Amino acid sequence: MVTIHRGELMRMDIFNLKEHPHRRYNPLTREWILVSPHRAERPWRGQVQEQPRKERPPYDPTCYLCPGNERAGGVRNPVYTNTFVFDNDFPALLPNTPNGLAGKEELLIAESERGICRVICFSPRHDLTLAEMDRADIRKVVHVWIEQYLELGALPSIRYVQIFENKGEMMGCSNPHPHGQIWASQTIPQEPAKECVSLTDYWYTKGSCLLCNYLALEEDRQERIVCQDAHFLALVPFWAIWPFETILISRRHVASLDGLNHLERVSLADLLKRLTTRYDNLFETSFPYSMGFHQQPTDGQEYPEWHLHVHFYPPLLRSATVRKFMVGYEMLASPQRDLSPEATAKRLRALSETHYKSRCKR
Ligand code: H2U
Ligand code: ZN
């Protein structure tokens, strides 16, 4: 059968992921996403603005994260030379909130939440990002992430340590100085909790790891892989929501950052540089994203089913300024994408791993 659809002829008789609208299942969150590949070429009337390239100085006297500068509340940063960690001056979670439940009504449930929020400066240099930092310096960031995970995770009141980076104004990041955050909480937050249920269920019903099996499938297909080495693999997941979303997965079945051996830590730093460089090269801009680690909870229980991974959720769609919005159908019904994960993986795969800024300098 041939159907006329928006002026185009489409073969509708054999279902095909490249052409036909379909739903994809995310086995980690157990949620569905609508994929509409036939819309990928639809006309775009939105404005495409050229973004002026803003060069930043290596030190900014007005930046609250630069070495030696004053933060809100009057605390002064040390003149740090590598990484620097401090307790967030405006923490979303407090360590001494009284424990308790509020409301006796079944439909009005609330409970207190304790935690600790920290900020990690990745580098003393105001003008760098992970993509532009030296590999040796990114290794220091990996080291701090591991230290923090262990230190905060060892506290009896902390059951989950969420390490993340919000990058770019588009993501609501308040400062371009390279930095990330940690929110360590008394309960396991929603997103890792969803993954926890799926990983545990899969482990005990199938007797193997969901992500180990997924990696094997992706290696077999080769369609969605972006870059890889002997220890880590970056790919656009089959169920990606954001156009250029990726997931970075350790090849070995390791439950948390501290389980990585020396070579794997070096590899993680290297893959972070390679992937973020590809991202910057995509639209020759400092590519905005939210990224973060998902790893085993720190509540003292054993989690043999957990498999360390990093999610990258970038909002950009077709240029340095045109982003994907999660509105309308996405808010009310289900996430949706036009460009297929296979198409965006192909684009990311084709990009250079030499940062565009260093290419221009030559
Ligand atoms: P974001 O740019 O990703 O929002 O991270 C900056 C964090 O830094 C933010 O959580 C904190 C904010 O609360 N901050 C301080 O701790 N001290 C300051 O002087 C300003 C901002
Ligand atoms: Zn700075």
Q: Where are the domains of the chain?
A: 72-353
Give the active site residue among 5, 126, 177, 179. Answer: 179
* Chain centroid to CA 52: 26
pLDDT at 53: 63
Q: How far is the CA of 41 from the centre of ligand 1 (A)?
A: 40
Query: Measuring CA to CA, how many Å separate 91 from each of 41, 69, 94, 118, 245?
Result: 44, 20, 7, 8, 28
Query: Measuring CA to CA, how many Å separate 350 from each of 81, 170, 226, 282?
Result: 35, 25, 8, 10
- Given pLDDT bands bounded at 50, 70 and 90, which one contains residue 136? very high
Q: Are 352 and 281 in contact (CB under 8 A)?
A: yes
pLDDT at 126 over 50: yes
Q: Are 330 and 201 in contact (CB under 8 A)?
A: no
Q: What is this structure's pTM?
A: 0.94
Half-sphere exposure of 193 (CA within 13 A, CB side): 9
Q: What is the pLDDT of residues 107-118, one digit of tens each?
A: 899 999 999 999
pLDDT at 51 over 90: no
Phi, psi (5° rounding) for residue 348? -65, -35
How far apart CA 101 and CA 97 sit, in angstroms, is: 12
Q: What is the pLDDT of residues 163-178, one digit of tens each?
A: 999 999 999 888 999 9
Q: How far is the CA of 40 from the centre of ligand 1 (A)?
A: 37
pLDDT at 359: 83
Task: Answer whether CATH 3.30.428.10 is correct for domain 72-353.
Answer: yes
- Given pLDDT bands bounded at 50, 70 and 90, which one contains residue 13? confident
Active site residue 179: yes
pLDDT: is 247 or 40 the higher one? 247
Mean pLDDT, the chain, rounded, equals 93
pLDDT at 270: 98
CA 171 to ligand 1: nearest atom = 3
Which amino acid is it at 286? S
Q: What is the pLDDT of residues 232-270, one digit of tens each?
A: 999 999 999 999 999 999 999 999 999 999 999 999 999
| CB atoms closer than 10 angstroms to residue 33 | 20
Residue whose CA lies nearest to ligand 1 atom number 12: 90
pLDDT at 2: 46
Helix axes 190-206, 210-221, angle to 10 degrees: 90
Q: What is the pLDDT of residues 194-238, one digit of tens each?
A: 999 999 999 999 999 999 999 999 999 999 999 999 999 999 999
pLDDT at 340: 96
